[in-house]
Structure 1
Amino acid sequence: MEMPVENKEIVFLLADDHSIVRQGMAILIDEIVPNATIHHTSSLLQIVELITSKGIEIAVIDAHFPDGNSLHILSQMKNANPDIKILIFSGLEEDLHVLKFIKAGANGYVSKLSDEDEIRQAISDIVHKGEYFSDLSRNLLIQYVHNPNLINPLSRLTNRELQIAEMYADGYGNLEISNHLNIKQNTVSTIKKNIFEKLKIENLVELIDLIKTHHKI
């Protein structure tokens, strides 16, 4: 007779650059899987190495680290252990980011803004079912089948908005953009406002990150 999941010695990796986040998640994991072994790291660069050296079975990782974006290492994590289950635990807007992480190999995505019960459910599902998707994620996955552009939020922009977004990402200011495109500065400002609203972002740092992550997917 197979041992219940709760009694198995599942090896977890918690990867987040904030120790308080890892400690909180570890408490929840201990409640759900008392025999779990939990490894911690605050570094994106250590994740793949730990998967190999510690035999990690379930990884709970943030989307962003000071040393990079975890989206780009999911394939390396799967190469290190094809059976690993990856739960993204992020403060990023779920509706903007979940699809690209699932496409890259994640088995689930839960927002740091979720209440404790939902986070507990996410851990339980990733342990018992090997995946966790919120109702929002499931709806987006269904929509994505019919509209693959959903995975790239930049597809919401017009050609002109995308052109100006790229110029901001390249370090151009309003005056340079207006001179280069031969349009008024207040027109550039209006387009910038539209870009921010469509992408649900608040500053140029977030815009640059979106351009880097999504452009030419």
Structure 2
Amino acid sequence: MINKDEETLFFLLADDHTLIRQGMVFLLDAAGINYKAFHASNFQQIKDCLHTEVIHIAIIDAYFPEGNSLQIISEIKEKNPDIKILIFSGIDENVHALKYLNAGADGFLSKLSEEEEIKHAILTLIDKGEYISPVTRTLLMNSLNNRNLINPLSSLTQKELEIARMYSEGFGNLEIANRLEVKQNTISTIKKRIFKKLNIENIVELIELMKNHS
């Protein structure tokens, strides 16, 4: 938990858009928090800041030009589990929130949220150590009965996952069949099964799923 008796709370504001970070500073001021903010616009700056500063709360975008933030979240929590992480992003909360919480984030908030909700999320994170929005709370409850909500790839067998990775890397049916030493029509059948399990219709959707959940 965050020690609210600290004289100053240290925030890391990590987003590759300056305006987003400046907007968060405005909201922190409006919330009446005694704080100091450090800024980062990429993964290396996040790592550098965490190496040199004692951060209490990190507000991090879900995606940077280098990729998604899942790995950096895991690294932060491994090195300092006391840091509270709020993912602040424009991506769909219904689709993505659970995988970030599963990676170690303490909250997920949409950039489409109203100012009051953003301030509430930050204050809740300070007071309780986590922020679970109504949308994410519903997702968490549903995930107890359906783990595919956290990672839809978990519905695939190891063989299907291997083939899905090959498709996402640009291999075709014949190349995959040759690599696995099976018939091409066998690969075509497995492809149909993968698409059905993941509820997708084409390779583009498969690539997106693999990028987001691998």
| TM-score normalized by the length of structure 2 | 0.76
Aligned twin of 2:8:
9
Which one is further off, 38-47 or 71-80? Answer: 71-80
Aligned twin of 2:30:
31
Change (3 A) 1:114 1:165: farther
Shift of 1:75: 2.2
* C-alpha separation in 1, matches of 2:129 and 2:202: 35
Which one is further off, 37-46 or 48-57? Answer: 48-57
* C-alpha separation in 2, matches of 1:114 and 1:211: 28
Shift of 1:73: 1.6
Which one is further off, 137-146 or 114-123? Answer: 114-123
Change (3 A) 1:155 1:7: closer
Shift of 1:49: 2.6
Residue pair 1:100, 1:151 contacting (<8 A) in 2 also: yes
Between Structure 1 and Structure 2, how many residues are aligned?
Answer: 205
Change (3 A) 1:34 1:121: closer
Q: Percent identity?
A: 49
Aligned twin of 2:114:
115
Residue pair 1:52, 1:81 contacting (<8 A) in 2 also: no
* C-alpha separation in 2, matches of 1:44 and 1:213: 17
| TM-score normalized by the length of structure 1 | 0.75
Shift of 1:77: 0.7
List gaps (5 residues or longer) in structure 2: 177-182, 186-190
- Code of the residue aligned with 1:26 in structure 2: it is V
Shift of 1:117: 2.2
SS of residue paired to 1:208: helix
Query: What CA deviation, in whole Å up to 9, does each residue of 1:8-37 have, x standing for no partner?
Result: 410000000011111111111122244210
Aligned twin of 2:92:
93
Aligned twin of 1:71:
70
Residue pair 2:12, 2:40 contacting (<8 A) in 1 also: yes
- Code of the residue aligned with 2:63 in structure 1: it is H
Aligned twin of 2:82:
83
Residue pair 1:165, 1:195 contacting (<8 A) in 2 also: no
Shift of 1:72: 0.8
Structure 1 vs Structure 2 CA RMSD: 3.7
Change (3 A) 1:121 1:181: farther
Aligned twin of 1:136:
135
List gaps (5 residues or longer) in structure 1: 183-187
1:105 aligns with 2:104: yes
